[in-house]
Structure 1
Amino acid sequence: MQRLKVAVITPGSFVIPSPRSSSVERVIAHMVPLASHKLQAQIYGIKGAETPDHGDVDGIPCMRYTRGAGYIREVIADLKRWLPAVIDVHNRPAFAYAIREALPDRKVVLTLHSTTFIREPHLKRKDMGRILLAMNRIIVNSAYLGATVAADSPDAVRERIVINKLGIHPGDFLPRWTPAAEALRSARLDDFGWSGRRIVLYTGRLVPGKGVHRLLKALRRVVHTCPDVLLLIAGSAYYGHDRLTPYTAALYRQIRKLRLGRHVHFLGYVPHPALASLYQLADVTAVPSIEAEAFGLVNLEAMAAGVPVVASRIGGIPEVIQHGKTGWLVYPSRGEQEMADAIIRLLQQPGLRQQMGEAGLDEVRRQFLWQHSAQRWAQIITDCATE
């Protein structure tokens, strides 16, 4: 039987595949190939120096065009030639609407990864309902994101919202809790000069909404109880670049003011494949967000590595972390006492860390694999095509 033709449109910001892309491109690169037995997919992205104009992403054809204002026009021209039954546009409502206008007889799906591009300055509130009403489906990665979209939308939009939670490939991560993994971890810590240190890991962008300044406040309290603690900060303000920003400069000043110099180490931007080995070093992963995360893929990455998470009870994070089982969910507070207490408790109890870490890995295997995401996505696309 002929497979249904589906086009997957990336935002046009990063090359796909690339270790220096955003999470949007990673989701597409991991998920879409796993649905190839059901769907005839074709991916659209931008050109890059390291990639051919037309290549593939793990066996899925990938058409690449010049980044910039002309990107979506070139994509539309190719869509008119290929004529897929369904067009899935990721995280760019304006692109999805332009495609709907250009190909009115095709089914158009908008996959949202966050609220960023349905908010000003990217999308005016008065235009949101009109654009979302033009979509046949709106895929979101959490119930929180679905509720946020629905709250500002007409009833007809709410009926088209479907949830497809993200996934992980556990084979990319080496869980800590085996003798071999612990021996490797010990050797790597020794190589870095961090033997005897208890490691808290933060991975993500260095922007105010991610709350690293919160984590530093909590760390000051942690140090009093666990003087051997070391916070590793892997990330930068921009994907792929370590340029200093006012916020990162403020973090450095905060560290000096709190006298945390020997307890914090900045690793700068770390390409995604290299992050897996960092999780193996961690005793705890911290996710101190103060702005609502739609999902928070870093939580799954830590769980896949068998590392317990201390995360903000905000946005879609509680849909991933089971409080008291796979990690601790904390509220923002003055001085970050609750976050500090959760980190201290885990650092002081190796048995609890292992218990939570293993529970997190079990949860990933149970419901957060890319295979699960791909199966749901294929069904959503098929249902959309046949409605």
Structure 2
Amino acid sequence: MKIAYVCTEKLPAPAVRGGAIQMMIDGIAPLIARRHELTIFSIADPLLPPEETDGDIRYIRFPKATYETDVARALAAHKFDVVHVFNRPVPLIDYQAAAPQSAFVLSLHNDMFSPLKITAEQAKRALDACTLLTAVSEYIKRTVTNRYPIDPQKVKVVYSGVDASQYIPVWTEEGRRIRQAEREAYGLTDKKVVLFLGRLSKTKGPHLLIQCLPSLLIRHPEAALVIVGGKWFGDTGRSEYIDWLHELAAPMADRVLFTNYVPHSHIPKLLLMADVFVCSSQWHEPLARVHYEAMAAGIPVVTTNRGGNTEIVRHGETGFVIDDYQNPHAFFEAIDYMLVNKHEAETMAKKARTLVEQQFQFHHVAKRFETVYIEACSSLSPNQ
């Protein structure tokens, strides 16, 4: 099959600026390209040429200002069997009009059918233009099927994943060596490290971890909180919220470390410094891919019950789930539980690693998408 991937207008592909969608594409694209002719469209970036071929993958990049128009023109010219549009239902309407002979797959990584993002008329047109849809979680699937009269079979759940070979479990000899080196590099050798990894925004909730730290230090005087991330992918600038985080942390400055943005290539090693990883999301998280990463590294996971998080982090089995997600004390209790009950935390972490190995690697994701593409092509009418 001739397959086109249409990225969003936010970030380029490959993921030189980060981004969950771009990182997933980087993981599955080489696998898809082994069996199919793959072209990836994304926005232009100073770090990347306008067009290039990397292995079996062709990349075409257009200026952000004219991106959607340029993509529509390219889709009409190249005549793909399948066009996979990532997270953008409204532009898909024009893409499908430009290439009506193609099967269109729309993958949803956020609640893109929210009335705040799309009108009812646009939603209907986008759903009619799609051959099939995929969603990164059952939660995201429900954001469509609960709002619109669409056949649930038209929306397939395709979870994201990782390359498990890039994540060395912390309990292995190599994992322990990397852990020691990372902790020494950050001056955390003798600390119990609580790790947050994500964009520094109120919806991600890192303020709650700072607020729970005084109680945690009473119980665990050697605790330290490491906050990894920036204002935006690759952006080390400040915001009013980030300034507030630093103000909250100031009384405990020797126990709160802000690393700013860290390139994704270093995340597998960075995770190993942690004793507990915490996803403190306050919004309806689609299903943050950082869960897969922490689980693959064998780090005990604490998360909130927001959105799709609990579809892979199962309370008491593969992690600890917080229901009272706005309460700093709830985070204290969860983190304390993981630090005190080390054997149980390690058991959960090993189950989580096994789950990733068995179900959530990039080769699983690629195979599931390939099944979707085959079904999408077979469902087209003969005159298309």
User: Which of 218, 232, 241 is the equivalent residue of 2:226?
Assistant: 232
Instruction: Look up the match of 1:97.
Output: 93
User: Structure 1 residues 347, 332: CA separation in 2 closer, same or farther (over 3 Å shift)?
Assistant: same
Residue 64 of structure 1 pairs with residue 56 of structure 2: no
Residue 14 of structure 1 pairs with residue 6 of structure 2: no
User: Structure 1 residues 113, 228: CA separation in 2 closer, same or farther (over 3 Å shift)?
Assistant: same
TM-score calculated relative to the size of structure 1 = 0.93
Q: Any residues of structure 2 matched to 1:1-387 within 5 Å, and which?
A: 4-57=1-54, 59-68=56-65, 70-115=66-111, 117-119=112-114, 121-156=116-151, 158-256=152-250, 259-332=251-324, 335-387=327-379
Three-state SS of the structure 1 residue aligned to 2:11 is: coil
- What do the CA deviations read for 1:329-362 (whole angstroms, capped 9, x no partner)? 0112564323211211211233233222222111
User: Structure 1 residues 38, 183: CA separation in 2 closer, same or farther (over 3 Å shift)?
Assistant: closer
- Alpha-carbon distance in 2 for matches of 1:105, 1:381: 14
Equivalent residues of 1:285, 1:309 under 8 A apart: yes
Three-state SS of the structure 2 residue aligned to 1:384 is: helix
User: Structure 1 residues 334, 98: CA separation in 2 closer, same or farther (over 3 Å shift)?
Assistant: closer
- Alpha-carbon distance in 1 for matches of 2:329, 2:55: 45
- Alpha-carbon distance in 2 for matches of 1:333, 1:291: 10
Equivalent residues of 1:29, 1:58 under 8 A apart: no
- Alpha-carbon distance in 1 for matches of 2:362, 2:326: 38
Decide which moves more: 141-150 or 246-255: 246-255
- What do the CA deviations read for 1:118-163 (whole angstroms, capped 9, x no partner)? 335532344323322321111101111101111111234x441111
Percent same amino acid among aligned pairs? 26
- Alpha-carbon distance in 2 for matches of 1:234, 1:56: 33
Three-state SS of the structure 2 residue aligned to 1:237 is: coil
Three-state SS of the structure 2 residue aligned to 1:118 is: coil
TM-score calculated relative to the size of structure 2 = 0.94
Equivalent residues of 1:283, 1:353 under 8 A apart: no
- Alpha-carbon distance in 2 for matches of 1:190, 1:100: 53
Equivalent residues of 1:217, 1:335 under 8 A apart: no
User: Structure 1 residues 276, 63: CA separation in 2 closer, same or farther (over 3 Å shift)?
Assistant: same
Q: CA deviation at 1:58?
A: 5.3
User: Structure 1 residues 143, 266: CA separation in 2 closer, same or farther (over 3 Å shift)?
Assistant: same
Three-state SS of the structure 2 residue aligned to 1:260 is: helix
Q: Which runs of 4+ in 1 moved over 6 A?
A: none
- Alpha-carbon distance in 1 for matches of 2:363, 2:325: 38
Structure 2, unaligned runs of 5 or more? 380-384
- Alpha-carbon distance in 1 for matches of 2:181, 2:72: 52
Equivalent residues of 1:39, 1:378 under 8 A apart: no
Three-state SS of the structure 1 residue aligned to 2:72 is: helix
Equivalent residues of 2:43, 2:63 under 8 A apart: yes
User: Structure 1 residues 255, 192: CA separation in 2 closer, same or farther (over 3 Å shift)?
Assistant: closer
- What do the CA deviations read for 1:27-78 (whole angstroms, capped 9, x no partner)? 111112212243322111122222222213553111111122x112111222
